[in-house]
Structure 1
Amino acid sequence: MRSGIAAAALLAALCAPLAACTSNGGASALQGAAGPQPESAGSAVPPALRFSAKTVDGAAFDAASLAGKPVLLWFYGPTCDECPAQAFETAALADRHVGRVHVVAVAGPGAGSGLQGFADPAAGGSVTHLADERHALRDRFHAGGVNTYVLLDEHGDNVYRGSGADTGSLDRELDALVGDA
């Protein structure tokens, strides 16, 4: 019994350096907004949600916390004239789908603390505001620019991408996704 434990420990000690040498940021690591994420981030976490970022307040955010429910991402920026009004619609979406859809606002470069608190959800929904200073998230989700929504289903698959001006289509997609159709 002891020799089996000793052999396993020796094998683990010999393999550890080999595993470290094979990690080149490719297939063995997933690139996130804040750098590589280990594959052990959870097999139930879809690849689209295997990233970390900072909130506009500077707090760490792990997107794995969004797994299991649809995720609505809203991209906004400081030069968007429509975005302050769209913040109210985004908060209303969070309220209408509280507990069933995660709503995340993504502030582009120069947005500072963004629109956080500008239009807080009233019915207990929440909107997390992430800082995207280098467009890593915008590029990751292929958001064309500011005032763009990207909707992921519970498996992390992109099911909708569109302008904030077209909230009717977004409402229909959300309703169909969460069973309100």
Structure 2
Amino acid sequence: MKKVLAIVISAVALMAGCGGGGDGTSAVEPTGAASRSAAAKSPGGAGQDAPRPLRFEGETLDGGAFDGTSLAGKPVVFWFWAPWCPKCLAEGPDVAKAAGKYKGSVSFVGIGGLEKDKGRLRDFVSRTGTGSLTHLDDRTGRLYSHFKVTSQSSFVFMAPDGATSNASGPLGESELNRHVGKLLG
């Protein structure tokens, strides 16, 4: 009973608001070379050399299949948002600007989650002008869990070698540029 209560309390806390104090504290453990080399490799298949965070499959908001290992070796910005999050809504245009500025050199992937209605996820993308990004449907919260993200808006910045850092939003254009600059060296 205590275990069930703890799960319910955690879920309510996550869904109660956008969470995160914007202080840049980590909800995702950084991944370095030592932890990548210790990570289990998938046997034989595609993506066997991809860093652990990229070993996931998902579905785009358009219904297409998405394989996280396709991002291996590239700098990536994962943006975790929810359609009911005011911070996420406010930063959307800045995310779209950054994605346009770094198009071709950095992949931006939106992960819309914690919402039952897929239509609300699509409406959010339209309202924020982020339709040029790849957006993944995470209504179940599976990708939030995979990346150990506990609040939205949150960002996971992944360097080509698989090292990650994160930040809580909202992040404006200058903050996004600073983080992406670090990815590009």
TM-score class, shorter:
0.5 to 0.7
Superimposed CA distance per residue, residues 66-113 of structure 1 (whole angstroms, 9 cap, x where no aligned partner): 122111011111320232232211111101111111100001122524
The residue correspondences of 1:30-179 to structure 2 (distance < 5 A) are 40-110=45-115, 112-113=118-119, 114=121, 115-118=124-127, 119-120=129-130, 126-165=132-171, 168-179=174-185
Higher helix share: 2
Q: Percent identity?
A: 33
Which protein shows a greater Rg?
A: 1
Kept in 1: contact 2:55–2:69 (CA 8 A): yes
Q: 1:145 to 1:90 in 2, by over 3 A?
A: same
Task: Find the aligned partners of 1:62 and 1:145 in 2 and give their Cα distance.
Answer: 23
Question: Where does the alignment leave 5 or more consecutive residues of structure 1 unmatched?
Answer: 1-26, 30-37
Q: 1:83 to 1:173 in 2, by over 3 A?
A: closer
Q: 1:165 to 1:94 in 2, by over 3 A?
A: closer
Amino acid at match of 1:91: A
Count the aligned residue pairs.
141
The structure 1 segments of at least 4 consecutive aligned residues displaced by more than 6 Å after TM superposition are none
Kept in 1: contact 2:94–2:172 (CA 8 A): no
Question: Where does the alignment leave 5 or more consecutive residues of structure 2 unmatched?
Answer: 1-39
Superposed CA RMSD in Å reads 2.3
Deviation at 1:42, TM superposition (A): 2.8
Task: Find the aligned partners of 1:153 and 1:53 in 2 and give their Cα distance.
Answer: 21
- The equivalent residue for 2:36 is none
Kept in 2: contact 1:150–1:160 (CA 8 A): yes
Deviation at 1:39, TM superposition (A): 5.0
Relative contact order, higher structure (CA 8 A, sep 6+): 2
Task: Find the aligned partners of 1:28 and 1:82 in 2 and give their Cα distance.
Answer: 37
Deviation at 1:170, TM superposition (A): 3.5
Higher strand share: 1
